[in-house]
Amino acid sequence: MELAIATSTNFLILSSMYILVALGFAFLFNMLRILNLAHGAIYMVGGYIGLFIISTLGLNQWIALLLATLIIAAFGVFLEKFCFRPFVGDFNRVVMVCVAIAVILQTAVNIIAGTKALALPPFVEGVFKAGLVSVSYERIATFAIGAALLGVIIWFVNRTKWGQQMQAIAQDKDGAALQGINVHRISALASFIGCGLAALAGCLMGAYLRLGPYMGDLMLIKALILVILAGIGSISGIFVAGLVLGALDAALPVLIPGAASDAVTVSIVIILLLIRPQGFFGYEMEI
């Protein structure tokens, strides 16, 4: 019973965090074809900035969460303007600039904070108890924030003017520009939201698990798995892929110990990809 509850809360939290990070990645990717390999590093830096604000400036955790998100989101606008926009359409240079950004961010964190594992203080204390079920409020809060944000994102993309403009650019950039959509401004907005979501997930995961300078690499791979399994150009597919990957990552380590469970997870992902080479909800695309 204890194990089942731990596994299912793990599943919900991991799924929502994976989806949050992958959505940010997918916004940039669908609109500009930017394969942002620095997204994992941005997620990691978000967590560290949150920790810095709490421990050094001594501010409230919730304010720190908000501030870290806004700072990284502003950094996203900078990235879009100076690092992504000049290279749109040139895959090789985009990869190079993203690797350079990731290396710079990781080394900076390494120098400032060191490689030792740190953790954010929990956002909510206490344990929720009902009969046999006991879940810490921290986990409930993490999942609740993640789920609420995902709802807001769905509403934003489908119902607001900016979200619809983003979808239009993802479908056809030139066509959207001809309709009077300011492609650069909407791209900057997408980068703002994407990096902000990554930073927020970094703070939440920093409290739920731990912080480390290289934690972004793993998250980047999860985001790539989600985007590729969903299919390029698909937002709703990311939710399905996120639930599948979250379930695998939460359940398999219980059944198989050690690195073998990761090997099984990746093998399942490869088989799924080979069954449908263009992803489950997307389309095949040349870059």
Stretch that binds another protein, among 12-20, 101-109, 172-180, 194-202 (CB under 8 A): 101-109
- Single residue of 106, 165, 187, 191 touching another protein by CB under 8 A: 106
Residues belonging to the chain: 287
Residue 100 in the binding site for another protein (CB under 8 A)? yes
Contact region with another protein (CB under 8 A), list: 154-162, 168-176, 246-254, 277-285: 277-285
- Among 58, 92, 132, 255, indicate the residue that binds another protein (CB under 8 A): 92
Tokens of 162: 């900016």
Q: Does 127 bind another protein (CB under 8 A)?
A: no
H or E segment to which residue 213 belongs = none
Check: CB of residue 189 under 8 Å from CB of residue 162.
Answer: yes
- Is residue 118 within 8 Å of 211, Cβ to Cβ? yes
Part of the chain binding another protein (CB under 8 A), chosen from 45-53, 59-67, 176-184, 261-269:
261-269
Q: How far is the CB of 29 from another protein (least distance, A)?
A: 9
Counting contacts by CB under 8 A, is residue 111 touching another protein? yes
Residue 214: phi and psi, rounded to 5, are: -110, 15
**Cα 36 from Cα 237, distance rounded (Å):** 19
Q: Does 91 bind another protein (CB under 8 A)?
A: yes
Instruction: Write the DSSP symbol of residue 128.
Output: E
**Residues near another protein (CB under 8 A), total:** 45
Distance, CA of 169 to CA of 193 (rounded, Å):
16
List C-alpha distances in Å: 204 to 14, 53, 122.
11, 14, 9
Residues that bind another protein in the complex, under the rule CB under 8 A = 35, 37, 86-87, 89-93, 95-97, 99-101, 103-104, 106-107, 110-111, 217, 221, 224-225, 228, 232, 258-260, 262-263, 266-267, 269-270, 273-274, 277-279, 284-287
